[in-house]
Chains A and B, each alone.
Chain A
Amino acid sequence: MSILSFLDRSHTIAKPGFSRWMVPPAALCIHLCIGQVYAFSVFNLPMTRLIGIAKSAPDDWKLTDLGWIFSIAIFVLGASAAVLGRWVEEGGPRRTMFTAALCFGGGFLVSAYGVSVHNLWIVYLGYGVLGGIGLGLGYISPVSTLIKWFPDRPGMATGMAIMGFGGGAMIASPLSVWLMSVFSTPTHVGVAETFVILGLVYAFFMLVGSAIVRVPAPGWKPAAYVPPTQPQKLVTNKDVYVYQALKTPQFWLIWIVLCMNVTAGIGVLGQASAMTQEMFPGRVTAAAAGGFVGLLSLFNMAGRFFWASTSDHIGRKNTYFVFFALGFVLYALVPYFGGAGNLPLFILCFLIIISMYGGGFATVPAYLKDMFGTRYVGAIHGWLITAWSAAGVFGPVLVNYIRQYQIDSGVPKAQAYNVTMYIMAGLLIAGFIANFMIQAVDDRHHMAAETVDDAVGVA
């Protein structure tokens, strides 16, 4: 017996009496930690003065070079989630969470060494590549487990975990700033020590999650839960193999749905501070704009839970219809409220938009489960994450370049975002059409019954 056999899926099968409500905290242990990636920018400025301390020295790293750390991590997140998704499904959640903990925590430790010897390539390798693998594995690891524990409320269950990813930055940002203040001296910035502490703390938290997590025994159902006996139009009780799912139009339509929803939201998130200050000059200070960004983070997080839970009642397709239709109206209204100087309604529009951005992330695992079954939903979700990577490039570039083009064309700064808002509204129409086209997966894509039985046997 291997020394690591406790990581096997067979060792994580819940015994009778195990409460399924232990599984969301296990998932949150992972997602609250890896959500740190959104707060990585707090290290950028301190890392530009590791040598100069008070201000950047000529040999210090440049911000443009440091920006690659985050980009590499997000790219590797998407790539590892896609490539390793099948291993995640077949190896089970504990093995994946354990590996994610070692990679994410280890990434910080390697980066701490890179900072201490002032070698940026080691930081790229540490946080970017190793940490990125931890991000990818951690992001998809609890999804199918939660769906199997909560067949009656899959949206709510995955919404809880993915809400943690949104909330992780709220913990990481002040914690990192505080740690750097503790370790900084007149001759030292304190980034390396902060990385070491964060690496150890995050690895510990994630390992606790991997210890708690369990998979349900074959055939387990929640008490009083009766699976629907009538076939539902857009909810299958059959399974599609991960690579077969990639051959279906439904996968790519959902890919477009997620990409459009994320593109529309991510462009705003990155520009929120500058946008409010430029659209309301003299009324919104830099500090107030920072407060607006904080409020957006809260609604981004809360929307993940709210909309994913709502989708259990109104259906996934209808939930995305709400995102796209309501989002279109709100984006179209933003320039009007901005022009009229109506700050409260302007803010309200964006808070609802950003809640739907988070909701899009959190609802999509349950949408995949409805379309492709539960067996390979984590692995299929891993491939879908590439839509996020694409949107992460597309959204900010779209907003930045259109704004700059407007300003170069002589449009006042206060109105430079109007065209962007209308283009975002257009993207949502494209998402609406893609969502409208989604039909049930053709029967020829489903796994044969004996294959599913074999798979369930190891579940």
Chain B
Amino acid sequence: MSFDDKDGGGTTGLELVLAWGFVGIPLLWGVYGTLANALKLFQ
């Protein structure tokens, strides 16, 4: 997956990083917690 499908210079790389970080960080936090809990299955 790439983020280079732009038609010009409107959206900056920083805006993309901020937008994806805004949703990605909470999601990764949730996935990490769930994964840590799931490991109990193998203990």
Contact = CB atoms under 8 A, between A and B. Distances in A.
Contacts of B23: 25, 28-29, 32, 164
Contacts of A212: 19
Interface stretch (A181-189, A233-241, A283-291): A283-291
Contacts of B9: 17
A171 B29 contact: yes
B35 A22 contact: no
B40 A287 contact: yes
Contact of A170 (B11, B19, B22, B34): B34
Most chain A CB within a 10 A radius of its CB, from B27, B34, B39? B34
A297 B41 CA distance: 14
Interface in B2-40: 3, 5-11, 15-16, 19-20, 22-24, 26-27, 29-31, 33-35, 37-40
A288 B40 contact: yes
A26 B42 CA distance: 36
Contacts, number: 97
B30 A291 contact: no
Nearest to B19: A25
B19 A26 contact: yes
A291 B41 contact: yes
A340 interface: no
B40 A290 contact: yes
Contacts of A295: 38, 41
A155 to B, nearest CB: 13
Contacts of A25: 19-20, 22-24
A20 to B, nearest CB: 6
Nearest to B20: A25
B22 to A, nearest CB: 6
Interface in A276-294: 284, 287-292, 294
Given A32-B27, A167-B30, A292-B41, A20 B19 contact: no
A339 to B, nearest CB: 20
B33 A17 contact: no
A291 B27 contact: no
Contact of B10 (A16, A26, A294): A16
Given A17-B10, A21-B5, A297 B34 contact: yes
A222 interface: yes
Contact of A16 (B3, B7, B40, B42): B7
A170 B28 CA distance: 9
A17 B7 contact: yes
A341 interface: no
B41 A223 contact: no
Contacts of A220: 7
Given A222-B5, A294-B37, 12 more contacts: A20-B5, A22-B15, A25-B19, A25-B20, A25-B23, A164-B23, A170-B33, A174-B33, A212-B19, A220-B7, A294-B34, A295-B41
Q: Which 5 pairs of residues, A with B, have the shortest CB-CB distance?
A: A17-B10, A170-B30, A17-B8, A291-B41, A19-B11
